[in-house]
A and B are shown apart, each in its own frame.
Chain A
Amino acid sequence: MIRRFIQNAGWPRIIIALFLLGLFIAAPFVGVRVDTSLSNTLVRFGMNGVMVLAMIPMVQAGCGLNFGLPLGIIAGLLGATLSIEWNTEILAWLSGLGTQYKISWLNDMFVTAWREPLGFASAIIIAVPIAAILGWFYGKLLNRVKGDEMMIATYVGFSSVSFMCIAWLLLPYKHPTMVWGYAGKGLRTTISVEGYWLHVLSDSLALNIQTDDIHLYIPTGMLIFFAVMAVLVWIFMRTKTGTAMTAVGSNPEFARASGVNVDHMRTVAVMMSTILGAVGIIVYEQSFGFIQLYMGPFYMALPAVASILLGGASVNKAGILNVIVGTFLFQGILTMTPSVINSYLQTDMSEVIRLIVSNGMILYALTRKVRAGR
């Protein structure tokens, strides 16, 4: 029974889960509050969850781990910055729409009251089609390089990030909160979303208890959003298309013999991954409070990849449960190690532990023997 459990869960997962548990147990003894830590873990879980979710379609379709997540993130960044750039226009257009079509509730008052959620929604609505287009090209590219997807994805991510570095400087953004003050052009490295859609998800329905005894904050809205996205992905993987996608990843020859267009399925999977990445980064930013441009998205794929692997996924199989478990464990470690270990050792080891755990996990997945017979 226990052996079977260990076999199913895998040693690395159990070791890390026990480590995390140990950190939570040790926390009170070194003066770290468990409730605060738990709150932080939940916040980071909500922030990163959707980006980890973005791994599922590509892994399931046999395209490997999506090291090219930065491409989706770029689409998200475009959506986020454009939603701020055009914030006034969008809101004006919406209330204008209300007047034009005599929709009584869609008036100035409504728009003003809901301007933050509307801004957030506009960011996503702008980002999704961009992500879909980028994902389509990215998918076509990956279809031509079957067998080498992961390495190429990494460098597609890197080169698109560095290309966008140039673009962020040159694109004609005008909004004063976003461009460099002295030059009047070129986007800043970090842009605050305060006043636009800071914490729109995190703070809605949030449970916030701050008394002398308890410091608990649960970003209910953000967790619900993640849950909705997870359920959508879960349902999608059960549709006819999702089933075909899984079969393509499991055995492309079988899928082809069953009349499935393998390349098409892979492209759809890559597009979905890219779109989820775009949505994921916007969720991340509303909680984080800042849009990080330039080299910001550079290494963002690695934590997401490590999370899903930590949750028990392999290079060619991943599910929602892997995402939830993995994100929680990974973000838990990231939250707890600085606070607990630092209080104990008086030094910040979190960066080193992050490097070793995340890359060790990916390494473990890459070197696992592929099942015989393939």
Chain B
Amino acid sequence: MSEGNTPLLRLDHIGKEFYGNRVLSDISFDINAGEIIGLVGENGAGKSTLLNILFGMPVISSTGGHEGKIQIDGRNVNFTSPNQALAHGIGMVHQEFSLIPGFTAAENILLNREVLNGSSMSYLFSDRVSTLNRTAMNERARAAINTLGVNISPYMSVSEMPVGYKQFIEIAREIDRKNTRLLFLDEPTAVLAESEAEILIAALKKLARSGIAIVFISHRLSEVKELCHRILVLRDGRLITDRPADELTTRQIASLMVGRQSSSVDLEKHEIPEEIPAEPETADSVLASPKKKKKIRPALKVEHLWVDMPGETVRDVSFEVKKGEIFGIGGLAGHGKLGIPNGIMGLYPAGGTVRLFGRKLTLNKPRAALGRKMAFVSEDRRGVGLLLDEPLDWNITFTAMQTQGRFLLGIPYIFQVRNEHAMRREARKFIDSLSIKCTGPGQLAGELSGGNQQKVCLAKAFVLRPNILLICEPTRGIDIGAKSLVLDTLKEYNRENGTTIIITSSELEELRSVCNRVAIVDEGKIAGILPASSPAEDFGMLMMGQTRHDEEGEESA
């Protein structure tokens, strides 16, 4: 890899642990001037942690710093704030736009780097009392935009721009910095239409020719392959591959990203070893458990569902879930997998038909969904799942109280007071059975750890005695021990009560270990439904948006 002269950026054995949880280990690579690197990996593979380390985000230093060395031009650096990284010529274009809508393109490109007219006042006070030189600003902005090979007026207000333009403005802002030599782009094409993405890719190539190195992070593998010189694949915090792009097919990249059939190192990552269906027969045996085979009728039938959930739009989804089944929904973040359960539960505007045991469900009304004995565990535990400022017994029994009229004393519809004794008793029952670590039912939910909070959310759902349980991201943000406990609890609950469970998760392995079948969502649609025993790379291909058609085209080319 090394070309003799000092590389622009060198990462040397970078690693990171969060509270004993290893998220990155032993990452080493070089980036040379003018090079375009594709950085790919599943959600949670460690990309964002890597970026946080590079940019000196406070989240890293406040959790004990990182391992390994970062060198720029052969000199060791250790950034403590993103501004230092910027000063060294490392720029970043984020996934969310950080533009000021009411400002023009020029004002945004030169935000906090405005061209100033010198004035006598500035000697007296500071530069901040000098006036702006708008002509010069517009010229500089125009130059930056032209570098990209697009035609956007510097006078145009950002609020009036199409989404694609905003992306260009973000990039123009980075390249306007005099010293920018290395540019990180996080999913820059995710919001672009195909034609816009093509222009962007052409612009990036042009930029690289001018000597700027680019790190391109994307899930669109065909774009990565077309644009990049070298491709780095991250998986479970390790650098799996560092090879020139033309040595890899998209199918290979996909299987490298998700696949673990070939690597034995992964076994240590598995939380629940005895349940891991790394081998197909484990999953088969789950399917073959006698109870489920007997009578199978669709517990849930979804047809042409669309859900308007910000960031997780569902466009057109149809699937069936059998009674007593554990059904998994996987896919990359932002492609709509979370939108499906949230839409069915009525939390976001939705349309289409959803049938429960043959009867149609009223959408857009959480009460209707709860009334049909569905229970929901939200992915947003602190935002939606819990009353952080209220005691545990409230959290556990509230939904049942409001929708099923339990834990109340008095006459329904006329006068009902909550039965605190029953609430506490119920809470205690679950504190014991799920071994929730707390001081008692009176403790506030906000004081518990992530894993215990998740158990409270599960308890809240179990109290409802649901026919169908929808769970989003059951193990997000909780430690390994709690992870296996949560998953075991779900499996046990399914086995004992025959409850249909739908799990939505970004962790494919987790889904494959628990579920009977897994659906993969891509760009708001179901890309495919596979038995959990299918090879991991098949799931990977579905996730990366690689249809059979693409593959064939690639192979024939």
Contacts and interface: CB of A to CB of B under 8 A. Distances in A.
Chains A and B touch each other in the complex, with CB atoms below 8 Å apart: yes
Interface of A: 235, 238-240, 243-244, 246-247, 250-251, 253-254, 256-261, 316-317, 371, 373-374
A251 B416 contact: no
B310 interface: no
Contacts of B388: 250-251, 371, 373-374
B450 to A, nearest CB: 11
Interface string B386-402: 11111000100011011
- Which of A239, A251, A258 has most chain B Cβ within 10 Å? A258
Interface stretch (B152-160, B364-372, B484-492): B364-372
B402 A257 contact: no
A247 B418 contact: no
B383 interface: yes
Nearest to A258: B399
B384 A253 contact: yes
B382 interface: yes
A374 B386 CA distance: 11
B422 to A, nearest CB: 13
A87 B79 CA distance: 79
B408 A257 contact: no
Contact of A258 (B382, B402, B405): B402
A238 B417 contact: yes
Contacts of A253: 380, 383-384
Given A240-B416, A243-B398, A259 B390 contact: no
Contacts of A256: 347, 366
B417 A235 contact: yes
A315 to B, nearest CB: 12
B385 interface: yes
A250 B446 contact: no
Given A259-B370, A373-B382, 9 more contacts: A238-B418, A239-B417, A247-B398, A251-B388, A254-B384, A254-B398, A259-B366, A259-B402, A373-B446
Interface residues of B, number: 32
Contacts of B386: 251, 254
B416 A239 contact: yes
Interface of B: 345, 347, 366-367, 370-371, 376, 378, 380, 382-390, 394, 398-399, 401-403, 405, 408, 410, 415-418, 446
A258 B403 contact: yes
Contact of A259 (B389, B403, B410, B446): B403
* The 9 A-B residue pairs with the shortest CB-CB distance in the complex, in nearest-first order: A259-B367, A258-B399, A253-B384, A259-B370, A250-B387, A240-B416, A259-B403, A259-B366, A238-B417
Contacts of A251: 383-384, 386-389
A317 B444 CA distance: 14
Given A240-B416, A243-B418, A257 B347 contact: yes
Given A247-B394, A373-B382, A258 B347 contact: no
Contacts of A246: 390
A295 to B, nearest CB: 38
Residue among A256, A257, A371, A374 having the largest count of chain B Cβ atoms under 10 Å:
A257
A319 B388 CA distance: 18
Contacts of A247: 387, 390, 394, 398
Nearest to B376: A257
A46 B458 CA distance: 47
Nearest to B399: A258
Contacts of B408: 240
A317 B391 CA distance: 14
Nearest to B410: A239
A243 B401 contact: yes
Nearest to A246: B390
A374 B385 CA distance: 13
Nearest to A314: B389
Nearest to B384: A253
A247 B417 CA distance: 15
Nearest to B365: A259
A250 B390 contact: yes
A254 B417 contact: no
A149 B73 CA distance: 55
A255 to B, nearest CB: 8
Contacts of B410: 239
Contacts of A257: 345, 347, 366, 376, 378, 384-385, 399
A244 B402 contact: yes
A115 to B, nearest CB: 33
A260 B417 contact: no
Contacts of B347: 256-257
A250 B401 contact: no
Contacts of A240: 401-402, 405, 408, 416-418
A371 B389 contact: yes
Contacts of A239: 410, 415-418
A222 B410 CA distance: 30
B398 A258 contact: yes
B370 A258 contact: yes
Contacts of B383: 251, 253
A253 B382 CA distance: 10
Nearest to A243: B418
A253 B370 CA distance: 15
A260 B408 CA distance: 16
B61 to A, nearest CB: 19
Contacts of B380: 253
Contacts of B382: 373
A246 B402 CA distance: 12
Contacts of B390: 246-247, 250
Given A239-B415, A243-B418, A247-B394, A260 B402 contact: yes
Contacts of B417: 235, 238-240
A71 B384 CA distance: 33
Given A259-B370, A259-B371, A373-B446, A254 B402 contact: no
Contacts of B384: 251, 253-254, 257
Contacts of A254: 384-387, 398
B366 A258 contact: yes
Nearest to A249: B389
A260 B403 CA distance: 8
A74 B347 CA distance: 39
A247 B389 CA distance: 9
A254 B376 CA distance: 11
A248 B315 CA distance: 31
A295 B387 CA distance: 41
Given A258-B398, A259-B371, A317 B389 contact: yes
Q: Which of B384, B403, B446 has the most CB of A within 10 A?
A: B384
B17 to A, nearest CB: 23
